[in-house]
A and B are shown apart, each in its own frame.
Chain A
Amino acid sequence: MTNFTPLPALIGGVLIGLAAVLLLYLNGRVAGVSGIMAGVMRMGGAERWWRFAFVAGLVLGGGLYLALGGNPVITIEAASAYIIPAGLLVGFGTRLGNGCTSGHGVCGVARLSARSLIATAAFMATAIITVFIVRHMIGG
Protein backbone atom coordinates (compact mmCIF):
# COMPACT_ATOMS: atom_id res chain seq x y z
CA MET A 1 0.00 0.00 0.00
CA THR A 2 1.31 3.46 -0.92
CA ASN A 3 0.27 7.00 -0.01
CA PHE A 4 -0.85 9.78 -2.33
CA THR A 5 2.08 12.17 -2.93
CA PRO A 6 0.64 15.04 -5.02
CA LEU A 7 3.49 17.57 -4.87
CA PRO A 8 6.33 15.31 -6.12
CA ALA A 9 3.81 13.96 -8.64
CA LEU A 10 3.13 17.48 -9.94
CA ILE A 11 6.84 18.40 -10.13
CA GLY A 12 7.76 15.08 -11.75
CA GLY A 13 4.87 15.33 -14.20
CA VAL A 14 5.92 18.84 -15.25
CA LEU A 15 9.50 17.60 -15.78
CA ILE A 16 8.21 14.74 -17.96
CA GLY A 17 6.06 17.17 -19.95
CA LEU A 18 8.99 19.56 -20.43
CA ALA A 19 11.24 16.68 -21.53
CA ALA A 20 8.68 15.73 -24.20
CA VAL A 21 8.31 19.36 -25.35
CA LEU A 22 12.11 19.68 -25.53
CA LEU A 23 12.43 16.61 -27.77
CA LEU A 24 9.70 17.94 -30.07
CA TYR A 25 11.11 21.49 -30.13
CA LEU A 26 14.72 20.48 -30.82
CA ASN A 27 14.46 17.21 -32.76
CA GLY A 28 10.86 17.21 -33.95
CA ARG A 29 10.27 13.84 -32.32
CA VAL A 30 7.56 12.40 -30.08
CA ALA A 31 8.80 11.19 -26.68
CA GLY A 32 7.27 7.73 -26.89
CA VAL A 33 9.56 5.50 -24.87
CA SER A 34 8.46 2.12 -26.30
CA GLY A 35 8.90 3.29 -29.90
CA ILE A 36 12.27 4.93 -29.17
CA MET A 37 13.47 1.82 -27.34
CA ALA A 38 12.45 -0.49 -30.20
CA GLY A 39 14.10 1.91 -32.65
CA VAL A 40 17.45 1.38 -30.92
CA MET A 41 17.23 -2.26 -32.03
CA ARG A 42 15.59 -1.68 -35.42
CA MET A 43 17.24 1.41 -36.84
CA GLY A 44 20.70 2.08 -38.17
CA GLY A 45 23.03 5.08 -38.22
CA ALA A 46 21.91 8.42 -36.85
CA GLU A 47 18.34 7.14 -36.43
CA ARG A 48 19.66 4.64 -33.92
CA TRP A 49 21.99 6.95 -32.02
CA TRP A 50 19.59 9.69 -30.96
CA ARG A 51 17.28 6.96 -29.69
CA PHE A 52 20.12 5.29 -27.82
CA ALA A 53 21.02 8.68 -26.29
CA PHE A 54 17.43 9.18 -25.11
CA VAL A 55 17.33 5.74 -23.47
CA ALA A 56 20.75 6.33 -21.87
CA GLY A 57 19.38 9.68 -20.69
CA LEU A 58 16.50 7.93 -18.90
CA VAL A 59 18.96 5.86 -16.87
CA LEU A 60 21.17 8.90 -16.24
CA GLY A 61 18.09 10.87 -15.20
CA GLY A 62 17.40 8.16 -12.64
CA GLY A 63 21.01 8.56 -11.49
CA LEU A 64 20.57 12.34 -11.23
CA TYR A 65 17.46 11.76 -9.11
CA LEU A 66 19.53 9.59 -6.75
CA ALA A 67 22.41 12.09 -6.73
CA LEU A 68 19.96 14.82 -5.69
CA GLY A 69 18.99 12.73 -2.67
CA GLY A 70 16.19 10.65 -4.18
CA ASN A 71 14.95 7.51 -2.48
CA PRO A 72 16.65 4.41 -3.98
CA VAL A 73 14.14 2.00 -2.42
CA ILE A 74 11.33 0.63 -4.57
CA THR A 75 8.87 -2.14 -3.78
CA ILE A 76 8.42 -4.81 -6.41
CA GLU A 77 5.31 -6.70 -5.36
CA ALA A 78 5.13 -8.96 -8.40
CA ALA A 79 6.09 -12.58 -7.75
CA SER A 80 9.35 -13.37 -9.52
CA ALA A 81 7.50 -15.75 -11.85
CA TYR A 82 5.53 -12.77 -13.22
CA ILE A 83 8.49 -10.53 -14.10
CA ILE A 84 9.54 -12.12 -17.39
CA PRO A 85 6.00 -12.72 -18.75
CA ALA A 86 5.13 -9.13 -17.80
CA GLY A 87 8.16 -7.79 -19.67
CA LEU A 88 7.34 -9.87 -22.75
CA LEU A 89 3.73 -8.61 -22.75
CA VAL A 90 4.81 -4.98 -22.32
CA GLY A 91 7.41 -5.25 -25.11
CA PHE A 92 5.12 -7.07 -27.54
CA GLY A 93 1.96 -5.11 -26.72
CA THR A 94 3.53 -1.66 -27.01
CA ARG A 95 4.91 -2.57 -30.45
CA LEU A 96 1.59 -3.98 -31.68
CA GLY A 97 -0.32 -0.99 -30.28
CA ASN A 98 2.30 1.56 -31.37
CA GLY A 99 2.89 3.11 -27.99
CA CYS A 100 2.83 3.07 -24.22
CA THR A 101 2.07 5.36 -21.30
CA SER A 102 4.32 8.12 -22.66
CA GLY A 103 3.58 8.09 -26.40
CA HIS A 104 -0.15 7.37 -26.17
CA GLY A 105 -0.92 8.29 -22.54
CA VAL A 106 0.88 11.64 -22.39
CA CYS A 107 1.84 12.88 -25.88
CA GLY A 108 -1.10 11.42 -27.81
CA VAL A 109 -3.80 12.26 -25.28
CA ALA A 110 -2.41 15.83 -25.00
CA ARG A 111 -3.12 16.41 -28.69
CA LEU A 112 -6.46 14.58 -28.39
CA SER A 113 -5.52 11.84 -30.85
CA ALA A 114 -8.42 9.38 -31.15
CA ARG A 115 -5.98 6.47 -31.50
CA SER A 116 -4.15 7.45 -28.31
CA LEU A 117 -7.33 8.10 -26.32
CA ILE A 118 -8.63 4.62 -27.23
CA ALA A 119 -5.27 2.93 -26.62
CA THR A 120 -4.95 4.63 -23.23
CA ALA A 121 -8.47 3.56 -22.24
CA ALA A 122 -7.65 -0.01 -23.34
CA PHE A 123 -4.34 -0.37 -21.45
CA MET A 124 -5.75 1.32 -18.34
CA ALA A 125 -8.70 -1.08 -18.38
CA THR A 126 -6.67 -4.28 -18.74
CA ALA A 127 -4.08 -3.05 -16.20
CA ILE A 128 -6.81 -2.30 -13.65
CA ILE A 129 -8.39 -5.73 -14.22
CA THR A 130 -4.98 -7.43 -13.94
CA VAL A 131 -4.16 -5.69 -10.66
CA PHE A 132 -7.60 -6.56 -9.33
CA ILE A 133 -7.03 -10.24 -10.13
CA VAL A 134 -3.49 -10.30 -8.75
CA ARG A 135 -4.16 -8.29 -5.57
CA HIS A 136 -7.69 -9.29 -4.66
CA MET A 137 -8.40 -12.68 -6.22
CA ILE A 138 -5.05 -14.49 -6.25
CA GLY A 139 -3.86 -12.45 -3.29
CA GLY A 140 -0.44 -11.32 -4.55
Chain B
Amino acid sequence: MPQIFAALASGILFGLGLGVSRMIDPSKVQGFLDVAGAWDATLLVVMVSALAVYAVGYRLVMRRPKPILGDVFHVPTRRDVDARLVLGAAIFGIGWGLAGFCPGPALTALVLGRTEVLLFVVAMLVGAALHDVLIERGKA
Protein backbone atom coordinates (compact mmCIF):
# COMPACT_ATOMS: atom_id res chain seq x y z
CA MET B 1 0.00 0.00 0.00
CA PRO B 2 2.74 2.57 0.82
CA GLN B 3 4.29 1.79 -2.58
CA ILE B 4 1.02 2.75 -4.27
CA PHE B 5 1.00 6.16 -2.56
CA ALA B 6 4.66 6.68 -3.40
CA ALA B 7 3.95 5.94 -7.08
CA LEU B 8 0.95 8.29 -6.98
CA ALA B 9 3.10 11.09 -5.50
CA SER B 10 5.81 10.54 -8.11
CA GLY B 11 3.22 10.53 -10.90
CA ILE B 12 1.66 13.79 -9.64
CA LEU B 13 5.06 15.50 -9.47
CA PHE B 14 5.92 14.16 -12.93
CA GLY B 15 2.63 15.38 -14.42
CA LEU B 16 3.03 18.78 -12.76
CA GLY B 17 6.49 19.05 -14.32
CA LEU B 18 5.11 18.15 -17.76
CA GLY B 19 2.44 20.84 -17.34
CA VAL B 20 4.77 23.57 -16.04
CA SER B 21 7.31 22.89 -18.80
CA ARG B 22 4.45 22.90 -21.37
CA MET B 23 5.46 19.52 -22.74
CA ILE B 24 1.73 18.75 -22.70
CA ASP B 25 1.48 21.08 -25.72
CA PRO B 26 2.38 19.04 -28.82
CA SER B 27 3.09 22.17 -30.88
CA LYS B 28 5.98 22.97 -28.50
CA VAL B 29 7.34 19.43 -28.86
CA GLN B 30 7.11 19.63 -32.64
CA GLY B 31 8.70 23.08 -32.44
CA PHE B 32 11.73 21.41 -30.87
CA LEU B 33 11.76 18.66 -33.48
CA ASP B 34 11.46 21.20 -36.31
CA VAL B 35 15.15 21.98 -36.72
CA ALA B 36 14.54 23.39 -40.21
CA GLY B 37 11.92 25.87 -38.99
CA ALA B 38 11.63 28.31 -36.07
CA TRP B 39 13.39 26.02 -33.61
CA ASP B 40 12.05 26.02 -30.02
CA ALA B 41 14.73 24.71 -27.64
CA THR B 42 12.30 24.32 -24.70
CA LEU B 43 12.26 20.50 -24.79
CA LEU B 44 16.05 20.41 -24.71
CA VAL B 45 16.11 22.47 -21.49
CA VAL B 46 13.40 20.25 -19.94
CA MET B 47 15.29 17.09 -20.81
CA VAL B 48 18.72 18.33 -19.72
CA SER B 49 17.46 19.67 -16.39
CA ALA B 50 15.47 16.49 -15.68
CA LEU B 51 18.39 14.23 -16.49
CA ALA B 52 20.85 16.39 -14.53
CA VAL B 53 18.66 16.04 -11.42
CA TYR B 54 18.25 12.31 -12.06
CA ALA B 55 21.98 11.77 -12.72
CA VAL B 56 22.83 13.18 -9.28
CA GLY B 57 19.83 11.62 -7.53
CA TYR B 58 20.48 8.20 -9.09
CA ARG B 59 24.04 8.12 -7.74
CA LEU B 60 22.93 9.17 -4.26
CA VAL B 61 20.01 6.73 -4.10
CA MET B 62 21.98 3.76 -5.44
CA ARG B 63 24.42 4.01 -2.53
CA ARG B 64 21.64 2.61 -0.39
CA PRO B 65 21.34 -1.17 -0.11
CA LYS B 66 17.66 -1.05 -1.02
CA PRO B 67 14.78 1.36 -1.65
CA ILE B 68 12.82 2.71 1.33
CA LEU B 69 9.64 0.75 0.53
CA GLY B 70 11.06 -2.24 -1.33
CA ASP B 71 13.59 -5.03 -1.14
CA VAL B 72 15.54 -4.43 -4.34
CA PHE B 73 16.20 -1.79 -6.96
CA HIS B 74 14.59 -2.75 -10.27
CA VAL B 75 16.99 -1.02 -12.64
CA PRO B 76 17.76 -2.18 -16.19
CA THR B 77 20.85 -4.35 -16.48
CA ARG B 78 20.85 -5.12 -20.21
CA ARG B 79 23.78 -3.70 -22.14
CA ASP B 80 23.26 -5.30 -25.56
CA VAL B 81 22.17 -3.06 -28.40
CA ASP B 82 19.97 -5.10 -30.73
CA ALA B 83 17.83 -4.44 -33.80
CA ARG B 84 14.61 -4.47 -31.76
CA LEU B 85 15.84 -1.60 -29.62
CA VAL B 86 16.75 0.57 -32.59
CA LEU B 87 13.72 -0.40 -34.67
CA GLY B 88 11.35 0.15 -31.74
CA ALA B 89 12.83 3.55 -30.95
CA ALA B 90 12.68 4.51 -34.64
CA ILE B 91 8.99 3.52 -34.86
CA PHE B 92 8.23 5.43 -31.67
CA GLY B 93 9.97 8.52 -33.08
CA ILE B 94 7.76 8.53 -36.19
CA GLY B 95 4.61 8.51 -34.04
CA TRP B 96 6.07 11.12 -31.69
CA GLY B 97 6.87 13.43 -34.59
CA LEU B 98 3.48 12.90 -36.25
CA ALA B 99 1.39 13.86 -33.21
CA GLY B 100 3.86 15.68 -30.95
CA PHE B 101 2.88 13.41 -28.07
CA CYS B 102 4.96 10.83 -26.24
CA PRO B 103 3.42 8.66 -23.49
CA GLY B 104 3.91 10.92 -20.42
CA PRO B 105 2.59 14.17 -21.86
CA ALA B 106 -0.28 12.36 -23.62
CA LEU B 107 -1.47 10.78 -20.35
CA THR B 108 -1.07 14.08 -18.47
CA ALA B 109 -2.93 15.99 -21.20
CA LEU B 110 -5.95 13.71 -20.72
CA VAL B 111 -6.98 16.15 -17.99
CA LEU B 112 -7.60 18.80 -20.66
CA GLY B 113 -10.55 16.79 -21.98
CA ARG B 114 -9.61 17.00 -25.66
CA THR B 115 -10.99 14.26 -27.91
CA GLU B 116 -7.71 14.05 -29.90
CA VAL B 117 -5.75 13.31 -26.72
CA LEU B 118 -8.16 10.57 -25.70
CA LEU B 119 -7.99 9.02 -29.19
CA PHE B 120 -4.19 9.15 -29.12
CA VAL B 121 -4.01 7.49 -25.68
CA VAL B 122 -6.44 4.72 -26.66
CA ALA B 123 -4.46 4.08 -29.87
CA MET B 124 -1.24 4.06 -27.83
CA LEU B 125 -2.65 1.42 -25.47
CA VAL B 126 -3.83 -0.66 -28.45
CA GLY B 127 -0.37 -0.35 -30.05
CA ALA B 128 1.33 -1.50 -26.84
CA ALA B 129 -1.12 -4.38 -26.41
CA LEU B 130 -0.63 -5.40 -30.06
CA HIS B 131 3.10 -5.61 -29.47
CA ASP B 132 2.64 -7.74 -26.38
CA VAL B 133 0.24 -10.10 -28.17
CA LEU B 134 2.16 -10.38 -31.47
CA ILE B 135 5.79 -10.26 -30.37
CA GLU B 136 5.89 -11.54 -26.81
CA ARG B 137 3.53 -14.42 -27.47
CA GLY B 138 5.67 -15.32 -30.47
CA LYS B 139 8.72 -15.52 -28.23
CA ALA B 140 7.12 -17.69 -25.57
Contacts and interface: CB of A to CB of B under 8 A. Distances in A.
B8 A106 contact: no
Contacts of B13: 15-16, 18-19, 22, 57, 61
Interface string B62-82: 101011111111111011110
Nearest to B21: A12
Contacts of B96: 86, 90, 101, 123, 127, 130
B8 A8 contact: no
Contacts of A115: 76, 78-81, 85
Interface residues of A, number: 112
Contacts of B9: 22, 57
A8 B40 CA distance: 13
Contact of A106 (B7, B15, B50, B73): B50
Nearest to A133: B97
Contacts, number: 503
A32 to B, nearest CB: 9
B89 A104 contact: yes
B91 interface: yes
A132 B36 CA distance: 7
A138 B125 CA distance: 28
B132 to A, nearest CB: 6
A31 B103 CA distance: 12
Nearest to A121: B89
A18 B11 CA distance: 11
Contact of A98 (B21, B45, B88): B88
Nearest to B111: A62
Contacts of B132: 38, 41-42, 95
Contact of A65 (B19, B66, B75, B80): B19
Given A9-B42, A23-B7, A58-B107, 9 more contacts: A13-B17, A15-B21, A25-B68, A27-B10, A33-B14, A74-B112, A75-B25, A91-B95, A106-B50
